[in-house]
Amino acid sequence: MDTLIDRFLRYVRIDTQSDETSPSFPSTKKQLDLSRMLFTECEELGLEDVTISEYGIVMATIPSTVEGEVPAIGWVAHVDTSPEFSGTHVKPIVHENYDGQDLVLPGDPSRVLRVSEESRLQQMVGKTVITTDGTTLLGADDKSGIAVMMSAAAFLMADTSIPHGPIRLCFTCDEEIGRGIEKLDLNQFGVCCAYTLDSDGSGRIDSETFSADQAMIVVRGVNTHPSVGKGVMVNAIRILSDLISQLPTETLSPETTDGREGFMHPYHLEGSVSEASARLILRDFETEKLAEYAQLLESLAGPLREKHPKAEIAITIHKQYRNMRDGLSKEPRALEKAIEATRAAGLEPNLNVIRGGTDGSLLTEKGLPTPNLSSGQHNPHSPLEWTTVEEMQQAVDVLVQLAILWGQER
């Protein structure tokens, strides 16, 4: 039987990077490679009601082992990896019996996991640490979650003496670009609550996420040959650069905020003299703050419109996801049992907030309460990403305890 590490290493070698500029769903066809693999593996494990949709969403059921009606719960993970760094030709490196020293990533020796900068590594001495070779993402976000779910499913299917109710597995696409549940049929999913396996470390339970919007700034200028540009040329690059340079940097930026502080983050720029654009993400735990951030962008654009009357400056706001905090109250047992299961697995529950979002943010907003649980990942969206086998196994243990606890409900 496959081990947890076997599964994880198999999954991360499949390139599943999503693409926020693509209008298709999934945004990249290569995500379907992993979806199809999971469909086959679910069937091979003997799971019931195994389906794969045209959009790459895989669902399956671990059948109940208790008599009578008990609530069905869901486990959720996403197959795609972040567009922010390459996920092509991933070469995972397994550091068995980690010695506590800095880890130089051999594919790019300039990239080093330094214990002085990564304090959590100090707690991993003697454990099995997995990193990239430094040239790509590892993909532990969220293939650690996938490996955890599949390993927990295999464990429960192999031992039917463990009492639990029905558990629905769901693997989504395009979570990293905010579209993870667009094509998910909640009636088909059919659960009272769910849990995303998409948080870091072990023992963590996220009950709040950022609320999030995306801002698109497009500046249209006037191009002409620079030799005759006087009084004619309107350089979109300069205007956009002027606007971006006025954004707060000492506050409201990812580099200068933490905890419950929000930010405005320009993360992609492109353009020419005739047209330049920027994509920004707006984040805050208080949803009403997003409108203030959008208004700040408009206030910066106003003087530039007056200064450059021949230019067009358009700012468009796209809603992404909302803080799951309020929606979790619809099913209070979701959090209660996550806490109880974490303790039953021998861990101290770490109730936390996540400075980002998950499929659970969108699911909770849609009416399906979905807290986020640890899956062992660290440094997501970075070539310095890493995980440990031991933390992933702890996440498996939490899922098994969750299954048992929900199996006691009537």
Q: What is the mean pLDDT of the chain?
A: 96
For the residues of 171-229, what is the DSSP string, one character each?
EES-GGGT-TTTT--HHHH--SEEEEEEEESSSEEEEEE-EEEEEEEEEE-B---GGG-
**Other Cβ atoms closer than 10 A to 215:** 20
Cβ atoms of 39 and 50 within 8 Å: the answer is yes
φ/ψ (deg, to 5) at 303: -60, -30
Q: Give the tens place of pLDDT for each residue, 193-202.
A: 999 999 999 9
Domains of the chain, first to last? 4-209+323-406 (3.40.630.10), 211-320 (3.30.70.360)
Residue 62 has pLDDT above 90, yes or no: yes
For the residues of 128-183, what is the DSSP string, one character each?
-EEE--SSS---HHHHHHHHHHHHHHHHHHH-TTS----EEEEEES-GGGT-TTTT
Cβ atoms of 32 and 174 within 8 Å: the answer is no
Residue that has been written with the tokens 């870091």 in this structure: 200
Q: What type of residue sits at position 321?
A: Y
The SS3 call for residue 96 is coil
pLDDT score of 2: 85
Q: Give the tens place of pLDDT for each residue, 315-357.
A: 999 998 899 998 998 999 999 999 999 999 999 999 999 898 8
Q: Identify the active-site residue in 142, 174, 175, 359.
A: 175
Residue that has been written with the tokens 């197959």 in this structure: 79
pLDDT score of 356: 85
Question: How many whole angstroms separate alpha carbon 297 and alpha carbon 292?
Answer: 9
Q: Identify the active-site residue in 80, 198, 213, 359.
A: 80
Spatial CA neighbour of 375 closest among 244, 86, 365, 359 = 359
Cβ atoms of 359 and 76 within 8 Å: the answer is yes
Residue 266 has pLDDT above 90, yes or no: yes
pLDDT score of 97: 96
User: Mean pLDDT across the stretch 43-69?
Assistant: 97
Question: How many whole angstroms separate alpha carbon 228 and alpha carbon 249?
Answer: 37
108 is catalytic: no
80 is catalytic: yes
pTM of the model: 0.87
> What confidence category does residue 148 fall into, taking pLDDT thresholds of 50, 70 and 90?
very high
Residue 191 has pLDDT above 70, yes or no: yes
Q: Give the tens place of pLDDT for each residue, 72-104.
A: 999 999 999 999 999 999 999 999 999 999 999
> What confidence category does residue 1 fall into, taking pLDDT thresholds of 50, 70 and 90?
low
Question: How many whole angstroms separate alpha carbon 186 and alpha carbon 152?
Answer: 23
Give the long-range contacts of residues 327-333, CB within 8 A, separation 24 or more. Answer: 327/364, 327/365, 327/367, 327/369, 328/207, 328/364, 328/369, 328/371, 329/369, 330/367, 330/369, 331/192, 331/193, 331/369, 333/193, 333/409
User: Mean pLDDT across the stretch 132-142?
Assistant: 97
Q: Give the tens place of pLDDT for each residue, 367-410.
A: 999 999 999 999 999 999 999 999 999 999 999 999 999 999 97
pLDDT score of 178: 86
pLDDT score of 326: 83
> What confidence category does residue 41 fall into, taking pLDDT thresholds of 50, 70 and 90?
very high
Question: How many whole angstroms separate alpha carbon 306 and alpha carbon 314?
Answer: 14
Top pLDDT among 179 and 137 is at 137
**Other Cβ atoms closer than 10 A to 389:** 20
The SS3 call for residue 234 is strand
Cβ atoms of 203 and 342 within 8 Å: the answer is yes
